[in-house]
Amino acid sequence: MSVDRGGRDADVDDRSRKWPGVAAIALFVVLAAVFVGAPFGDAAGGFEGDAGITASIGYSMFNIDAPDAIPSEGFLVSFILIAVVLDAALDGAVMLATREEEDERSPGLASDATDRGPERVPSTDGGRPVGDGEEVDD
Amino acid sequence: MVPIEYYLLLSAAVFCIGVFGILTRRNALLFLMSVELLLNAANINLVAFSRFHGNLTGQTFSLFTLALAAAEVAIGIGIVLVLYRNFDDVDVTEATTMRW
C-alpha cells in the first residue's frame, strides 16, 4: 500500500470513500433485519450417523456408499469438473506470467501486433544513468 | 448450539466488508482479497446451514467453492502481473480498456 507525501493512503480515493461505506452499512442493516426476522424452523440438532465428519465428506466426495456415513449427496462429477478447472487455471496463470525475451509486454492480453504502440528499445548499458560525467556515444 | 442467526450475521458482515473493499480499493491485490471475503462469506453460510440441517452437502460444497477461489486467485494474480508489466502499477483504474 502506497502512502503519498501528505500521509494519506494513496491507494484509496478519499472522495469516493464515503458513499461506498454508507452503501455497505445499509446493505448490512438490510441483511441483518432479514436474517433476524426470518423463521428458520428447528435445528436438526447435530449430524446423524456414526462416521466422523471428515470421513463422511470423503465418502460424499467420491460417491462411496458407507452405511454409517452422515447423509449427503454425491459429488464425484463436481470433483472431476473442479479438477479440470484448476488445471485450466494453472495453465492460464503460467500463460499470463510467461514473458517473451524480445518483447517486454506480456503476450497474454495483447490483441495483435498493430496495437502494441511505439516500439521500445531494450537498454544495453545496464541501465546506468546518463550524464554522470561520462560522455555518451550514440 | 449457536443459533443460525449469529452465523448469518457474521457472514453478512464479512460480505459487506468485501463489498466495501471492492468499491473503494484501487490496488488490484486488495481487490482480489475483497473478492475472497465475498466467497468466504458464502462459505460461512454453507457450513452453518449444513450443521443446521444435519446434512454434509453444504460442507462438501464449500470445499469446492474454496477450490474455485484458488483457481480465481491463480488467474487474478496472473492478470495483476500483466497489469504491472504494461502499466508499471497495480492500480485497477489505470487499465480502462481491454486492449492497449
* Nearest beta carbon to residue A106 from set B30, B72, B86: B86
Measured in degrees and rounded to the nearest 5, phi and psi for residue A28 equal: -65, -40
Among chain B residues, the shortest Cα distance to A90 is held by B74
* Model pLDDT, residue A5: 43
Interface contact flag, B54 A20, Cβ < 8 Å = no
Q: Do B71 and A85 touch, CB atoms closer than 8 A?
A: yes
Fold classification of B4-87 is: Helix Hairpins (1.10.287)
Smallest CA–CA distance, residue B35 to chain A, in Å, is 14
Domain ranges of chain B: 4-87
Q: Which of the residues A34, A36, A40, A76 would you substitute to probe the B interface, choosing the one with the greatest number of B C-beta atoms within 10 Å?
A: A40
Identity of the residue in B52, B56, B78 whose CB atom sits nearest the CB atom of A97: B78
Mean pLDDT of B46-65: 92
What does the pLDDT read at residue A6?
Answer: 43
In angstroms, the first-to-last Cα distance of chain B is: 56
Q: Dump pLDDT digits (tens) for B9-26.
A: 999 999 999 999 999 998
The DSSP 8-state label assigned to residue A10 in this structure reads T
Whether pTM > 0.95 for this model: the answer is no
User: Does A14 fall in a domain?
Assistant: no
Question: Could you tell me which residue, A108 or A68, shows the higher pLDDT?
Answer: A68
pLDDT above 70 coverage of chain B, percent = 98
Q: Nearest C-alpha of chain A: how many angstroms from B51?
A: 6
Check whether A7 has a pLDDT greater than 50: no
Q: Which residue has the higher pLDDT, A71 or B16?
A: B16
Average pLDDT of the residues in B31-46: 96
Number of domains into which chain A is organized: 1
Interface test with B, best of A14, A53, A82 (most B CBs within 10 A): A82
Q: Please give the pLDDT value at position B1.
A: 80
Residues of A in contact with B5 (CB under 8 A): 35-36, 40
DSSP result, A61-103: HTT---TTSPP----HHHHHHHHHHHHHHHHHHHHHH---SS-
Nearest CA in chain B to A16: B24
In which residue are the cell numbers 463436481 written?
Answer: A78
The cell numbers describing A74, all together, are 454425491
Q: What confidence tens digit (pLDDT) does each residue in A77-119 have?
A: 999 999 999 999 999 999 999 886 655 555 555 555 455 555 5
Residue-wise pLDDT for A8-56, tens only, equals 455 555 557 789 999 999 999 999 999 999 998 888 777 876 778 899 9
Instruction: Indicate the pLDDT class of residue B55, thresholds 50, 70 and 90.
Output: confident
More confident residue, A109 or B44: B44
The verdict on residue A10 lying in a domain is no
Average pLDDT, chain B: 92
Q: What's the pLDDT at A36?
A: 93
User: Searching chain A, which residue's CA lies closest to the CA of residue B85?
Assistant: A105
How many contacts, defined by CB atoms under 8 Å, are there between A and B? 149
Domain residues for A76? Answer: 50-103
ipTM for the predicted complex comes to: 0.87
Q: Which residues of A touch B74 (CB under 8 A)?
A: 89-90, 92-93
